Each structure stands twice: as structure tokens, then as C-alpha cells.
A and B are shown apart, each in its own frame.
Chain A
Amino acid sequence: MDRIVQALVEIVGTPYVSDSAEERYFYGRDPGLMPAHAPDYVVLPRSVEEIQAIVRLAGREKIALVPMGAGMSLSGLVIPQRGGIVLDMKRMDRILKVNEAARYVVVEGGTSTGKLHAHLNRYYPRLRFSTPDSPAAATVAANVMIHGQGRLTQQQGFNSDMVSGLEVVLPSGELCRIGSCALSDDWFSKGPPLPDLSGLFLGWFGATGILTKVGIKLYPRKKMRDVEIFITDSPDFVPGILYELTHTEMAEDINIFAQPLPLIFSGNHHIVIYFTGDSAEEMELKKRILFHALDGFIRNKDGGFMTVGEGMKKTLLDMPQRSATTFADVTKGGGFEYSGPIVPIDRYPGCSRKLDELAVKYDLKYHATARIIDKGHAMMFAFSFTFNRADEDMLNRTRMALSEASEYALSIGGLFWKPTLDEQRIALEKMDPQTARLMKRIKEELDPQGIMNPGNWEGI
């Protein structure tokens, strides 16, 4: 038996190590468009001690390590660029504690968002977290690691902003607590009022350490939840509409979508406004305030609230929203990928027009979706294309369209979200050189051997 396999077996046990062609095939790719690279080994650790042992082994043997959740970034972030060991974290999926009064939960590094959602539904009906649109199998840890967003992002910021503490295995194999949990049993803060070290790990895609525990903040869950959709016939009105809506502070999530098909949606921009309340009065009040915020647009015929049918409402209120995933099969082709840069909200019209242009240029099926972040300080605008995995030409055209979308995003002052390796490189090149150098120093200090998800945040 391979020496490394033997060593891994001694750490996690025979059933949980594989160097078979099947695992190497599957874990070497993701459902997006990035090229495949097979790992040498796939392991399923169950404890922090096992992970530490694996990390120390990798350090000794200079083998690359790639921790992963469900692998749904779509931008290839856990495709092992230099082979090595993939750590599929999903066996570590316990929910460790919920502190109801302080509203936080601590989960293990492989706990799925679906399981957390179900757990809170059953045991803590007054608490919720910022559920992302990714499939239920996506992990809490990976979602915050990539600065994902969710249903509470409009109110609270990126899901990573809602982290309340971390436990990390460093590339040296040492275990480290980040945040209030470093000083007490409570996980109520990821840093403040002390120096905030969470930034050494969040957003680095595992290149600086492995998240073995994540604390996330929970928020009040109201008994009722509803959704309305305001539509406008020009993207130019969208920033103004968003500004007015966010001013009210009444909304939960605010999303925007625009797509040419089905026909009912063609030509319009749909601002989807969610709101919650504990009583009919609270709901009616919020609805009234949200409606009145847009009186000016209605008066000028620049937009209006459409009727949302029962079926559509059910789809929109679903959490996690499965229709975000089923977009993948529009071409009966099982795939979609998007470039979802973070931009100021006044860039919406430019991005929308650019997307229409790219779709025509590359003959692709597409839609635009956007989510408001932190009451309108920014938005995630997704240039989203759906492709047929079995059509090589379509895959190439999609890659080109996404590349142009990224270029455009950068040119208008946007930031790449969950950037592909190319986008990471471009970002580092365009960045303030001192900032890039600081990132390099951090990476080299934490991971001198360069074994942690190599390829990512490199090439400075």
C-alpha cells in the first residue's frame, strides 16, 4: 500500500481514505467550468485531532491539502490544483451548541446549511440564520469562507460578517481559537473589541488554515414572512428604487432578477422584496411603508407592484430556494455558472446592459440576479449563464462570456466574489501593491511550505 495511504489510514481508519480512480475523478472537478485536476487522496476526517494529524503529515511530506464542503462554489475553489489530499469535511457535521439568549450557534467545519436550518426549525423557532441560496448540502463553514450571502445579507452584510468565532487548524497543525472563544466559552464575537484575526482566514479559501468550528450569529425569526415584487421597465430606475427601499429599513432580503424567458419576465427588472413580522399588523405596516417608498416611481409610471401568483410565491419563499439550483437545467444540460462581482448599487444599469450584450454576443441563455448587501452599501450582481455540459462549444462560449463579464466588473470598480484562479491573479495585479504584499506576507508566514490549497492567492 502507498505509504501516504497507510499513514492516512492510521489517522482516520480504512473506510475513510481513498486513492481510487473513482474518488479522484469526482473530487477533481466541480459542476462549474474550471478545468479538472485530480487529487491523490481523499479523506473523510471526523475530529479535530484527525485533521491536525493530517495537516502535520502533509507538512512533513510536503503534500498539498484542500479542505472542502460540498464543492458548490462553481468557480473551482476546491479543485486541487496540485493534487494532494482533499479533506471532505462533511463527516464533521455536528451542531455543537446554540446559545439562545446571545443568539449564536457553533457548528463543526462540515455541518450543512440544510441541517442547521432543520435544527433551528425544530428546536429554536424564534431563531434563524442567513440561509444562502446554495443547495442545502453546502456547508456553513464554506459559505462564510467564501464571503457568501444569504437571506439576512441585506440587513446584516456578508454571511462572513455574521461569523461569531472560529476554530482553525493552522498549516503548522496547531489549533487556534479566533474571537471571543479564545478568551471565554462564549462565541459572541469573531474579533472586536480585540484585534480581529478572522480576516486571516475568511476569504482565503483554505489557503491559510482549515476551519474546524464556526460560530455564526443567529437572528430573530418572525412568525410570518411574505414577498412582493416591484417591476420596472428600465434598469436605470433600479438604483433609485433600491435606495428608497433600503431607506425604509423594513425589508428582510432584497433581490433583483431580469431574464428574457419565460416571456412574462421579458424586458422588465423585478425587485423582489421580502419582509417579516410577528403579527398581521406588523406585516401590513411594513408593506404599507415599502409600497409608499416607491410612490414616486408609481406616479411616473416608471414601475409598479405586480401580482405574485400562489405558485410563484411558494417558490420565492422556499428556504433554501431550490429554484436557484434548478436554473442549472434550463438547457437540459445540468450546468450554470456565474460571475457575481460585488459592486456599488448604481452600477446596476451598466451591468444589466453588459449582460444583455454578452448573451447576444455568445448566444447563451442567461439571467441577471442581484442581491442587496448591507442596506445598499453594495450589491452582488450575477452575470449568470446556464450551459449544457455535453456541448463543448457552449462550454467555451460560456467561459468567454464569464471572462468578459469579470473584466467589465473590474473596470467599473467591482470586486470579484469567490474569484476563480484567474480572477484572483487579476485582482492581485490590480490591487494596491502594498496590500498585495501584505497578503503575500500573511500567506507565507502562515503557510511557509505552500501546502494549503495551493494556487489560490498566489503569484504576487
Chain B
Amino acid sequence: MKYAEILHRCFRCGYCKFTLDYENFNCPPYRKYRFDTFAPGGRMWLIRAWLNGEIENSERFQEILYSCATCGNCVEHCAFTFRENLVDIFIAAREELVNGGRIPPSVRDYFKAISIHGNPYNLPAAQRSSWAADLPVQSYDGQEYLLYIGCVGSYDERGRKIAQAVSRNLIRAGISFGILGEREPCDGNEVRVLGEAGLFEYLAENNIALFRQLGVRKIITLDPHAFNAFRKEYPAFGGDFEVLHYSQVLSRLIESGELKPGDFPVRVTFHDACYLGRHGGEYEAPRRILRAIPGVELVEMRQNRENALCCGGGGGNFFTDILGGEGDSPSRIRVRQAVETGAEILVVSCPQCAKMLEDAIKAEGLDDKLVIRDVGELLDASFREN
């Protein structure tokens, strides 16, 4: 297993579980399960035990490994120098499970769907751009930017609304962009983090070839997961593109005056997406957009930026639902944190966060207190209202 030489260096001290100031536990599965085995230190020791033959692959072991949301809180807060590889280690362990052929059924189903249909919904490629039916969104044909929507934005009901809002903003600003529609492939980020290295390699190579063939130079992603894959993982396969998250593009347009948001008086709070924030290093672009909308009052949750609590959708859990949504699941804790700020809107920058947190609001019975809006949707609304 890759990184196996790091495993024994874990001291199981527990710094990985916390926020920076120790106010709260911030590892999503640890918050839910509360067994130390579900914290990063637990995984490190158990993976080592498994590789040494001291324990066997079991349902519980798979649950422990696959409940990790790959949120990166441990990478941020572990006390040791090998912290930067922690999430890599958990993914490497999943790769070992995949190679051994004994993985949770939901994970296997995910790989199957991607392999056969190119998306986790088992829906036809032809439906991939139906979200854009009523919009003057062009097909990609050498424009300055490729707008990459991703599977969630293309097929998920909630995700589509975000795709529409973001597109409207880009059109408004006169950005030259196009979408791939039915030709759009899966970026593969979830395939990779769920441990199917071979399938990910296949996707990456094919996608890079496709992009090159089409002359793609710059990519705007809707989903931070795609942002991560294109920016951090594709270069190893020869992918050399300028990759931006749409919040970065929109915030630049607002700053340069090309987009002038309208009034939208409301109190909001902002949830950092793990793959934009901790993994992507971008905490400010969405906030700049919010602060630029007249009337918007941005109140921060205590756990923000590097200390944000993951919605629980990462690590493939959005699709496999292993971390789940009952009881003290992170998404439910997160919406409670949002309500505490007195905000009416919990703003997100990722379609997966949007869906996870919306479901959590329903489960918590907080529908009358809080709604979810993607930052692109809020910006869009500020224009439409005026």
C-alpha cells in the first residue's frame, strides 16, 4: 500500500479530531460515531493492523474506512509532519480494499454506474444538458472557457438549479464559455477517493485527451470536487489546464465592475466546501461575492474556513451514504450551527453541500428557519430581484 511506511508514526494523540482552537470535534465521522476507531488515529492504527494481519477486512472495517469524508480537517490539524498525507493514506487503504474485491455494495454500485453510464445516477448521457434547455448556453466550441458542470450539477434536481444560476451569471457578465453537454465526462474525483485508482486513471487520461482535442485551455468548474480533480490530480496524467471555481471567476468580475449585483437585504452565513476550502485553498472568493451584494449581512459560524465542519458528503458519502444522515451526523450538526448565527440563508458553494444540508434542514425540522442557497444562486437572485 502506498504510504504504508507512515502508518506506524501515528501517535493517536487526537489533535486530528479537533478544530484549531479545540472548541469542538471537527472530524465528521468521529462526531457521529464517537468511537476512537472512527477518528483519523483509529483509521491509521487499524489500517496498519489490517496490513499486518492482526485484523481482517470486515463490514465494520469497511464502514470505518468508507465513513471518512476526506474533508481534510486532520490534514489541517494533526500535530505531525506527515499530516499532509493523511487523506492520501485513507484513500490508499480504500484502494487496497478495492483491489481485494471486498468493498461495501454501495461503493461497488457507484463504480459500476460510472463505468457503464458515465454518471452515478444510471441516467443517459443525452440528459446531461437538459438543465440548460431554456438558457442561451452554448455548446463548447473553442470559447475562452469550458464550463464543466459535473454529474451532480447535470442530473441532480438541486444541482441543476445551481448550474442554471451560475450560467445566468456568466452570461450576464459576457463571459465566453461553452458546455460539453452530452459529451461531458465524469471528472472522476469521487472514483479516486473511493479507491478505484484504475478507473480514475482511465477517466483522467480520456478526459485529458478529449479536452486537448477540443482545444480546451481554461476550465470553470461548478463543483469543487471537479475543481480538485482537474487542478490537483490531472497534472500527473499530463493535464495542463487553468482551472477555476466559478466563485473565483464571479468574484473577479464583480471586483472589476463587470458585474454589479443588485440589492438583496438578508442575513446569511457561509459554509466552506472542503474541496474549495481546505483542499483548494480558496476561502475568500465566495465571501467577496457575498460582501459585494448590497444589503447582505454575512455572519460567520464559529467553525469557518480551515475549521469548517464538513457537510458529510465528501469521501464519496454523497453517493454511498455510509456516513449517513441520522442522529448526530455532521450535516445536521452543521445546520444547527448555522441557525445559531441567526442567519436566514445558509450559503454554500458546492452542489453536494447544498443537497446534504438541505436534507439535514428537513430532518431537523428547521425548514421555517433556514434555507440553502448556493452563492451563485444568491448572486443571480440579486440581479433578478432588481
Direct contact of A and B (CB under 8 A): yes
Residues on A lying within 8 angstroms of B by beta carbon are 15-16, 18, 20-23, 25-27, 29-31, 42, 44, 70-72, 88, 90-91, 112, 114-115, 117-119, 121-122, 135-138, 322, 325-326, 328-329, 332-335, 388-390
Task: Name the contact of A31 in the complex, choosing from B13, B17, B24 (C-beta under 8 A).
Answer: B13
Pick from B18, B36, B79: contact of A88, CB under 8 Å = B36
Chain B residues whose C-beta falls within 8 Å of the C-beta of A16 in the assembled complex: 34
Instruction: Taking A25-B54, A88-B35, A334-B11 as given, write out 12 further A-B residue pairs in contact, using a Cβ cutoff of 8 Å, ordered by the A residue number.
Output: A20-B58, A21-B55, A22-B37, A22-B46, A22-B64, A26-B46, A88-B36, A136-B18, A325-B11, A328-B80, A334-B9, A334-B10
Flag if B12 contacts A136 (CB, 8 Å). no
Instruction: Identify which of residues 80-105 in chain B touch chain A, using a CB-to-CB cut-off of 8 Å.
Output: 80-82
Contacts A117-B22, A137-B17 given; indicate if A15 touches B12 (C-beta within 8 A): no
B residues near A112, Cβ cutoff 8 Å:
22
With contacts defined as CB atoms under 8 Å apart, how many contacts are there between chain A and chain B in the complex? 107
Are B13 and A44 within 8 A (Cβ)?
A: no
The interface residues of chain A lying within 8 Å CB-to-CB of B35 are 18, 23, 42, 44, 88
Instruction: Report A386 CB to chain B, min CB distance, Å.
Output: 10
Complex A-B: 5 CB contacts under 8 Å: A20-B60, A22-B55, A122-B23, A138-B14, A388-B8
**B79 x A322 contact (CB < 8 A):** yes
- A105, chain B: closest CB distance, angstroms: 15
Q: In the assembly, what is the distance between CA of A385 and CA of B126, in Å? A: 64
Expressed in whole angstroms, the Cα–Cα distance for A274 and B46 within the complex equals 40
Given contacts A31-B11, A70-B14, A334-B10, contact A26 B36 (CB under 8 A): yes
Chain B residues lying within 8 Å of A333, measured Cβ to Cβ, are 8-9
Instruction: List B contacts of A29 (CB < 8 A).
Output: 45
- Contact B13–A137 (Cβ < 8 Å): yes
Q: CB of B327 within 8 A of chain A?
A: yes
Q: Known contacts A20-B60, A118-B21: does B9 contact A329 (CB below 8 Å)? A: yes
Q: How many angstroms from the CA of A44 to the CA of B14 in the assembled complex? A: 17
Instruction: Report whether A326 and B80 are in contact in the complex, using a CB–CB cutoff of 8 Å.
Output: yes
Known contacts A21-B60, A25-B49, A122-B23: A332-B34 contact under CB 8 Å: no
Could you say which residues of chain A place their CB within 8 Å of the CB of B64? 22
Q: Which one of A15, A20, A114, A389 contacts B9 once the chains associate, using CB atoms below 8 Å?
A: A389
Asked if B300 is at the interface of the complex by the 8 Å CB criterion, the answer is: no
Among residues of B, the one whose C-beta sits closest to the C-beta of A328 is B11
**B30-71 toward A: CB 8 Å interface, digit per residue (1/0)?**
000111110000100110010000111010110010000000
Residues of B within 8 A of A30 (CB): 12
Which B residue sits closest to A46, measured CB to CB? B34
Which residues from A are CB-within-8-Å of B80? 326, 328-329
Cβ of B46 to closest chain A Cβ, rounded Å: 6
Contacts of B21 in A (CB 8 A): 118, 121
Q: Which one of B11, B33, B45, B46 has the greatest number of beta carbons of chain A within 10 Å?
A: B11
Complex Cα distance A281/B34, Å?
47
Q: How many Å lie between the Cα of A134 and that of B24 in the bound state?
A: 17
Q: Are A135 and B13 interface neighbours, CB within 8 A? A: yes
Cβ–Cβ < 8 Å partners of A334 in chain B: 8-11
Assembled-state Cα–Cα distance A150/B155 (Å): 56
**Proximity bits, B269-308, A CB within 8 Å = 1, else 0:** 0000000000000000000000000000000000000000
CA distance A136 to B22 in the complex (A): 7
> Quick one: closest B residue to A43, CB to CB?
B35
With a 10 A CB-CB cut-off, give which of A27, A135, A326 has the most chain B CB atoms. Answer: A135
Tell me the dominant secondary structure on chain A's binding face: mixed
Give B355 Cβ to nearest chain A Cβ, in Å.
Answer: 24
Residues of chain B within 8 A of A138, CB atoms compared: 14
How many angstroms between the C-alpha atoms of A25 and B37 in the bound complex?
A: 9
User: Is B46 a contact partner of A115 (Cβ separation < 8 A)?
Assistant: no
Known: A20-B58, A115-B22, A121-B21. A26 touches B37 (CB 8 A): yes
* B15 sits at the interface (CB 8 A): yes
Question: Chain A contacts of B15 at CB under 8 A?
Answer: 135-137, 322, 325
Contact A22 B11, CB 8 Å, known A44-B34, A135-B79, A136-B22: no
A87 to B284 CA separation, bound complex (whole angstroms): 43
B55 touches A135 (CB 8 A): no
Partner of A118, one of B10, B22, B82: B22
Smallest Cβ-Cβ distance to A135: which chain B residue:
B13
Point out the residues of chain B lying under 8 angstroms from A328, CB to CB. Answer: 11, 13, 80
**B327: chain A residues within 8 A (beta carbon):** 15
Q: Whose C-beta in chain A lies nearest to the C-beta of B30?
A: A90
Q: What are the residues of chain B within 8 A of A117 when measuring CB–CB?
A: 22
CA distance in complex: A31, B9 (Å): 10
Question: When the two chains form their complex, are residues A26 and B13 in contact, meaning their CB atoms are under 8 A apart?
Answer: no
CA of A71 to CA of B56, assembled, Å: 24
A15, B18: Cβ atoms under 8 Å?
no
- Asked if B11 and A335 make an inter-chain contact with CB atoms under 8 angstroms apart, the answer reads yes
Bitwise interface map of B from 115 to 129 toward A, beta carbon under 8 Å scored 1, else 0: 000000000000000
In the complex, residue of chain A having the shortest beta-carbon distance to the beta carbon of B10? A334
Q: Which residues does chain A contribute within 8 Å of B55, judged by CB atoms?
A: 21-22, 25
In the assembled complex, the CB of B266 is this many whole angstroms from the nearest CB of chain A, namely: 27
| A42 partner residues in chain B, CB cutoff 8 A | 35
CA distance A27 to B46 in the complex (A): 11
Q: Which of A18, A44, A90, A138 has the most CB of B within 10 A?
A: A90
Cβ contacts under 8 Å, B23 to chain A: 115, 118-119, 122
> Which residues of B lie under 8 Å from residue A26 when comparing CB positions?
36-37, 42, 45-46
Q: Which residue of B lies closest to A93 (CB)?
A: B25
Q: Which of B159-214 contact A (CB under 8 A)?
A: none
Provided the pairs A21-B55, A118-B22 are in contact, do residues A91 and B9 lie with their beta carbons within 8 angstroms? no
- Using Cβ atoms and an 8 Å threshold, which residues of chain B touch A135? 13-15, 79
Q: Which residue of A lies closest to B54 (CB)?
A: A25
| A27 nearest CB neighbor, chain B only | B36
The answer on a CB contact under 8 Å between A114 and B22 is yes
A90-B34, A118-B22, A326-B80 are contacts. A389–B13 as well, Cβ < 8 Å?
Answer: no
Q: How far is the CA of A88 from the CA of B37 in the complex (A)?
A: 12
> Judging by beta carbons under 8 Å apart, are A137 and B14 in contact?
yes
In residues 221-265 of chain B, which contact A (Cβ within 8 Å)? none
Q: Are A23 and B37 in contact (CB under 8 A)?
A: yes
What residues of chain B lie closer than 8 Å to A44, measured between beta carbons?
Answer: 34-35
Contact status of A91 and B34, CB under 8 A, knowing A26-B45, A332-B9, A334-B8:
yes
